[in-house]
Structure 1
Amino acid sequence: MAKAPTVYDVAERAQVSIATVSRVLRTPDAVRELTREKVLDAVRYLGYVPSANARGLAARRTNVIGLFFPGHDDLDYAAAVDARGDGGVPVVVDDDDRASETENLYFDEVLRGAEIEAWRRGFALMVAAGRGASREALINDIAGRVDGLAVLSSTVSDELLAHVARRIPVVVLAGSERDDGFDHVSASNGPGMRTMAGYVLQQHGVRDLVYVAGPGDSPDDAERLEGFRDALRDAGVDEATVPIERGDFTREGGQRIAERLVRGDSRPRAIVCANDQTALGVLDVLEQHGIRVPEDVLVTGFDGITAGRHSRPRLTTVHQPMVELGRAAVHAITARLDDPGLGPQSLTLPVRVVLRDSCPPV
């Protein structure tokens, strides 16, 4: 087997320094185009593949950033199998309800932002999902493989995060800032929901409405619920007269709640949802029952996922910068790697209300 090319070989062929080769491979945008192309041509010609282990030993870093999200149970596809073809491949019934159990478009967008920023800064991204008792073991395992870790608020205990933070930077995504010593990156949840619900209450004059909250352990949901209650107080509406349904942030959960509302004694004029996936589930059920949106019922969401732009009708929502949340988390980690003495940092990104067909402008 031929000897593998080294960074020295690349530098010699491109007639540049080893440091320049390193910059091209880690932060290509920081190098002039002509120089960058010379180095990349040499890399391609020689078939050079950089060694992450060697870089890590030299810099005492892995050049990897960790991102931890709560996991989801796998679908039990066996229950949906109707037959097997001659090749032994399962033939299943397409069931959107079952598929929705594992969708989380919010995480997808945050992940995309983290990937963009990590790449821009010369880091790889390690993504992990765990639930229940597996979380502690998984977090400890990841912490030994990365230079910094971003986690979704309330998915990991403060004690475990404090243990990890003794070794690497930790950034908490979502939820409000707390005096816990960690960096925090979040969106303006409370004011966003206050503005959205206020538009329904005051511009559309709605008094008969239902709020569909998320899971009780979600810090984002707690802030959005408080924002909704603020909007009720602003409009002079007694909170005791407004039903609050507890959902789970999934489309399927929104469908279940909407079925109960539709089959109830009275139908609300507006359904304000704590996230878009819940609202999309509500729209599914209203359409199935021939209930017109927005003529009969107004529906709003929160997040601004792409699916809301393509729903029927298009979903009115509070758009939060999910991609920017991911980017900001990576930026916070790299900033602390560059300056370990930084005090705890907190960043709250702005949101905006986007009026579409499901709750149109007045």
Structure 2
Amino acid sequence: MAKRKVGAAPTVYDVAGSAGVSIATVSRAIRSPDSVTPATRERVEEAIQRLGYVPSASARALADRRTGAYGLLLPGFDDIEDAVEPVPSDGAVRITDDRGSRSPVGGAPLYFDEVLRGAEVEAWRHGSALLVAVRRGQRQDISGRVDGLAVFGRAMSEEAIGQVARRMPVVLIADEQAAPEIDSVSVDNARGMRAVVEHVVGVLGIRDLAYLAGPKDSPDDAVRRHGFAEALAAHGVDRRRLRMRHGDFGRARAAAVAAELLAERVPRALLCANDQSALGALDAIHAAGLRVPEDILVTGFDGIEAGGYASPPITTVRQPMRALGGAAIRALEARIADPTAPPQHLTLSVEVLLRESCPPTL
């Protein structure tokens, strides 16, 4: 191997020579780390770090006709502006009396964080990066910078999804009904909600229920409400006599809606469309001086970590959030490999976790 000039930028040939492997192996170790053995990957990574080698993304893109990145488009959050508030840099430490105040995490970031993590890991396994964008206003288009786009429900209109899908692979996350001709991955929302209602009504024998739903335009919420209604009908419960209120899947709004329900009348059980809403319901219940589960039962949906540390821990339907993100990336890879294959619709199973907020027995 020719000696590298002093001061010259290291090349893939330098890395291959230092690691004792071929340049093709170096390329595989960078692009698809799982395609080489751990020992080989470690030698290549050590050589890269020691030499200071930086792979040329532009060169790879020209050779492969790929950007080396996947896109993940999230719906907008009402509280996203909070993340960019200016912070003083005057060195002063401020002391604030924060007793009685609450600063709940809004929207569904805790859920999206888990899905995003799964997508990022799967993209890494395929040697790609993950570009994440949040829709603000009518549209946030990142399709021109990625090889494929995973889109959450409510993040793009059906028309916009169709336009992007004509240019590149698209997979829908948690919105399989929006465009049946496009690949989708989702979880069994209806069956999960039916199982929770079956426990509350069929096992515990409770019929005095209220339901705290999510946004009216949410595909997840629509399917969960359908499962809720099916379970009630199976037990002869007239859902028209039950109180239902819509929230926004966020904790703050759920706390306000739950407080209104409690002020009208305290139901024996409050079923919530997601865990963030259940956390908000607990806030309102505790503020009203009520006990869970003695005075009122509470259930959620998603299985976010915060629900297990609530007081009391929340009974929930745990969905495989990280697996959902990973499945979306694999769907994009499969579509790139075979653009003519029929659309695939994957539904992942869920699990009911009975905890103290709605225990196995009363």
TM more than 0.5: yes
Partner of 2:341: 342
C-alpha RMSD over aligned residues: 2.3
Structure 2 Cα separation of the partners of residues 38 and 252 of structure 1 = 50
Return the offset for 1:152.
0.7
**1:219 to 1:15, Cα distance in 2 relative to 1, 3 A:** same
User: 1:131: how far off?
Assistant: 2.0
Query: Shift of residue 158 of structure 1?
Result: 1.7
**2:288 alignment counterpart:** 289
Q: Give the aligned partner of residue 121 of structure 1.
A: 126
Tell me what 2:304 maps to: 305
SS at match of 2:360: coil
Asked if the contact 2:164/2:170 (under 8 Å) is kept, the reply is: yes
With the length of structure 1 as denominator, give the TM-score of the two structures: 0.91
- Equivalent residues in 2 for 1:134-213, closer than 5 Å: 135=139, 138-139=140-141, 142-177=142-177, 179-213=179-213
Deviation at 1:74, TM superposition (A): 3.9
Kindly tell me: are residues 71 and 211 of structure 1, through their superposed partners in 2, closer, same or farther at Cα, counting changes over 3 Å? same
CA-to-partner distance for each residue in 1:172-212, whole Å, 9 max, x for gaps?
00034455421010110111111101211111111111011
Matches within 5 A, 1:90-105: 97-101=102-106, 104-105=109-110
User: Please, which of 60, 65, 69 is the counterpart of residue 70 of structure 2?
Assistant: 65
Structure 2 equivalent of residue 280 of structure 1: 279
Deviations 1:281-318 (A, max 9, x none): 11112122221111110100011100010000000011
Preserved contact between residue 175 and residue 223 of structure 1 (Cα < 8 Å): no
Cα distance, 1:288–1:80 mapped onto 2, change above 3 Å:
farther
User: Contact 2:170 / 2:332 at 8 angstroms: preserved in 1?
Assistant: yes
Instruction: Report the 3-state secondary structure (helix = DSSP H, G, I; strand = E; otherwise coil) of the residue aligned with 2:217.
Output: coil
Q: Distance in 1 between matches of 2:191 and 2:130?
A: 32
| In structure 2, distance between residues paired with 1:102 and 1:282 | 14
Identity %, equivalent residues: 53
| 1:1-54 CA distance string (max 9 Å, x none) | 922111122122333221111011122232133433332332222111111111
* Structure 2 CA distance for partners of 1:185 and 1:9, relative to 1, 3 Å: same
The CA deviation at 1:60 is: 0.5
CA spacing shift, 1:153–1:308, aligned 2, 3 Å: same
SS at match of 2:145: coil
Q: 1:239 to 1:184 in 2, by over 3 A?
A: same
> What amino acid is aligned across from residue 280 of structure 2 in structure 1?
G
Length-normalised TM-score, structure 2: 0.91
Given that residues 80 and 92 in structure 1 are in contact (C-alpha distance below 8 angstroms), is that contact kept between their aligned partners in structure 2? Answer: no
Give the Cα separation in 1 of the matches to 2:38 and 2:105: 45
Q: Distance in 1 between matches of 2:259 and 2:86?
A: 23
Pair 127,256 (structure 1): closer, same or farther in 2 beyond 3 Å: same
In 2, Cα distance between equivalents of 1:322 and 1:143: 24
Unaligned runs of 5+ in 1: none
